């Protein structure tokens, strides 16, 4: 579909970029690497940015708004973008599927940046194959459950205040449909007895860790949605957030492209500016074209999601697949055209080079997105 941002959207994006550069970027050193930056999360709440993800009137977040937010923040401050996205991912299942009591208890605090949320789906043996999770929810005589098992690669763990946890409440069947139907989503506060976590040191210093559940008690009041329908809760969340991962990638690609265009115009080599070398100019043209194509896929998917059009899973997968692969190409090309200076610690491209790798893996790796697309073509 043809797509272009209107003037109001363009103005909002410019405002977001200014806020990210002037108000949010200075807060990035306020926590140790790999741990939640609570001053940054609080600032996102104070500036009203988290309220765009969780509107106070209870209306669903628009995928278009989420994508505009993530791309704009990513161009100026990837840490702020990630903090906003993780709040959204962790609490969106409550916003869409939670009870009135769950929403009133948690969403205002998450939107204000006072409570940190996390989305706990992945496990050591169930990352890309999300339906294969093994965290067990064993029903007790009192009609409640106890969670036993482990989660891994959980963003904001172990520092989050509340977790959306996906656990197996039924036996895994012989088909994928059977395996999916035995999963339930639970809202688990971090102070529940038996819940422990450990941070992980990663290539990019995001807050990521493991969670250990030692007979953690949960009740029917903690169920998000319906018992046995947790897989649908997870996939509905990912269908919204996958295009916005693409928007994050587009933001990084645009930042890398902007700095490379400026560098190629200023840097002189072989008797003239780099931009006059055909190999350089053609690489810049390819970087720009792929970035624009990625943006169009992302915002087409967002518009389709908001319009309730069919094929959302396919469009979301296409957007995430193409945009994250494009960002990897653009950032790598930018490093190549800058040379050794781009690898020096503290350079924008050194930062983006570490940041750009993970989106090709989380929320469904590139290979998973291709599988989703192919499956949806025959649905």
Question: Which tokens go with 242?
Answer: 């996958």
Beta bridge partners of 212: 150, 196
- Is the separation of the CB atoms in 156 and 86 below 8 Å? yes
- Reduce the DSSP state of residue 127 to 3 states and report it: coil
- Told to judge if 363 belongs to the known catalytic residues of this protein, a careful annotator would answer yes
Ramachandran sector of residue 353 (left: φ over 0; alpha: ψ -120 to 50; beta: rest):
alpha
- Is the separation of the CB atoms in 117 and 109 below 8 Å? no
HSE at residue 240, side-chain half, CA atoms within 13 A, is 25
Which residue among the candidates 81, 325, 363, 367 is catalytic per the annotation? 363
Closest CA to 305 of 95, 64, 79: 64
- Is the separation of the CB atoms in 112 and 50 below 8 Å? yes
Ramachandran sector of residue 95 (left: φ over 0; alpha: ψ -120 to 50; beta: rest):
alpha
Environment class of residue 172 by beta-carbon count within 10 Å: exposed (0-12), middle (13-18) or buried (19+)?
middle
Active site positions, annotated: 363
């Amino acid at each position: 579909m043809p797509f272009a941002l209107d003037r109001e959207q363009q103005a909002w994006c410019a405002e977001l970029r200014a806020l990210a550069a002037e108000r949010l970027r200075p807060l990035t050193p306020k926590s140790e690497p790999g741990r939640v930056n609570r001053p940054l999360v609080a600032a996102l709440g104070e500036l009203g940015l988290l309220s765009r993800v969780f509107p106070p009137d209870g209306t669903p977040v628009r995928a278009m708004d989420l994508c505009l937010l993530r791309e704009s923040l990513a161009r100026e401050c990837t840490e702020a973008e990630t903090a906003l996205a993780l709040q959204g991912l962790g609490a969106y299942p409550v916003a869409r599927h939670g009870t009135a009591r769950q929403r009133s208890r948690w969403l205002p605090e998450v939107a204000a940046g006072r409570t940190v949320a996390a989305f706990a789906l992945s496990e050591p043996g169930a990352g890309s194959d999300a339906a294969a999770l093994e965290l067990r929810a064993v029903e007790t005589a009192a009609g409640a459950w106890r969670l036993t098992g482990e989660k891994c690669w959980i963003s904001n763990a172990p520092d989050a205040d509340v977790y959306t946890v996906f656990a197996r409440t039924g036996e895994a069947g012989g088909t994928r449909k059977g395996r999916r139907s035995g999963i339930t989503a639970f809202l688990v506060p971090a102070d529940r007895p038996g819940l422990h976590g450990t941070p992980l040191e990663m290539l990019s210093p995001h807050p990521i860790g493991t969670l250990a559940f030692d007979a953690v008690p949960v009740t029917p009041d903690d169920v998000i949605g319906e018992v046995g329908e947790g897989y649908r809760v997870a996939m509905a969340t990912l269908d919204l957030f996958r295009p916005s991962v693409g928007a994050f990638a587009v933001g990084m690609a645009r930042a890398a492209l902007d700095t490379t265009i400026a560098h190629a115009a200023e840097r002189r080599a072989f008797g003239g500016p780099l931009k006059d070398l055909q190999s350089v100019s053609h690489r810049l043209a390819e970087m720009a074209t792929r970035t624009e194509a990625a943006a169009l896929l992302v915002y087409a998917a967002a518009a389709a999601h908001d319009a309730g059009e069919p094929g959302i899973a396919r469009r979301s997968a296409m957007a995430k697949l193409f945009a994250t692969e494009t960002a990897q190409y653009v950032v790598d090309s930018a490093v190549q055209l800058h040379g050794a200076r781009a690898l020096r610690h503290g350079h924008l491209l050194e930062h983006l080079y570490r940041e750009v790798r993970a989106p090709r893996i989380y929320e469904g790796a590139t290979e998973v997105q291709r599988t989703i697309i192919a499956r949806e073509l025959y649905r």
